[in-house]
């Protein structure tokens, strides 16, 4: 396993639409292992492959609290089959938009389908923080960042703040 660099705004690669994965093989599992290690080190709760410069439809996630055992999840070629009409606001942040947090309104519940770490087809329902996180990460696969859900002014301020912090580092 290896730590990978997380791309931050305004890097144009974050706007790429990720390509579907052909097969879940050892090469892909090694990528997912690297992604998970990178996410934990950041630290974060979700990471899409495009955030480390690999525009493939792959997401890793771990929603376990600090005092709980790690519970890594892997999502290959995820798709949302159904979204609830009712929505819920949630304060989101993103490893590609460091130190910026804002409220985003998303469907409260979704049904998704994906391939897991072993290439098995899974369908499951998500709600709460799981629903928020999977939608946030799936947005990355379409080249959408959480700040794209904000007003133009808030988005521009967020990008300017990240650029300024990067120059100071």
Render each residue's pLDDT in the chain as its tens digit; 169 residues: 789 999 999 999 999 999 999 999 999 999 999 999 999 999 999 999 999 999 999 999 999 988 899 999 999 999 999 999 999 999 999 999 999 999 999 999 999 999 999 999 999 999 999 999 999 999 999 999 999 999 999 999 999 999 998 888 7
CATH number at residue 39: 3.90.45.10
Q: To the nearest 5 percent, what fractions of the chain are helix, strand and coil?
A: 35, 30, 35
Contact 60, 36 (CB under 8 A): yes
Residue carrying structure tokens 């391939």: 115
Task: Domain of residue 101: give its range.
Answer: 12-168
65: in domain:
yes
**β-strand partners of 88:** 106
- The conformation of residue 31, written as its DSSP 8-state character, comes to H
Token pair belonging to 84: 């609830």
List 67, 85, 92, 137, catalytic entry: 137
- Please answer whether residues 6 and 38 qualify as being in contact, where contact means their C-beta atoms are separated by less than 8 angstroms: yes
Q: Look at the chain and report how many structural domains it folds into.
A: 1
Quick check: is 1 in a domain? no
* 137 in active site: yes
5, part of any domain: no
């Amino acid at each position: 396993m290896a730590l990978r660099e997380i791309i931050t705004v305004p890097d144009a690669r974050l706007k790429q639409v990720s390509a579907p994965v052909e097969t879940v093989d050892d090469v892909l599992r090694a990528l997912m292992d690297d992604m998970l290690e990178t996410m934990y080190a950041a630290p974060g709760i979700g990471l899409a492959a495009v955030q480390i410069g690999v525009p493939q439809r792959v997401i890793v996630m771990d929603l376990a609290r600090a005092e709980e055992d790690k519970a890594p999840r892997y999502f290959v070629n995820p798709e949302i089959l159904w979204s609830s009409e009712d929505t819920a606001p949630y304060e989101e942040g993103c490893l590609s938009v460091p130190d910026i947090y804002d409220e985003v309104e998303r469907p409260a519940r979704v049904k998704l389908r994906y391939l897991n770490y072993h290439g098995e087809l899974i369908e499951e329902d998500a709600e709460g923080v799981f629903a928020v996180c999977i939608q946030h990460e799936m947005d990355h696969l379409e080249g959408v960042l959480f700040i794209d859900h904000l007003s133009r002014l808030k988005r521009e301020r967020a990008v300017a703040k990240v650029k300024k912090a990067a120059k100071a580092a």
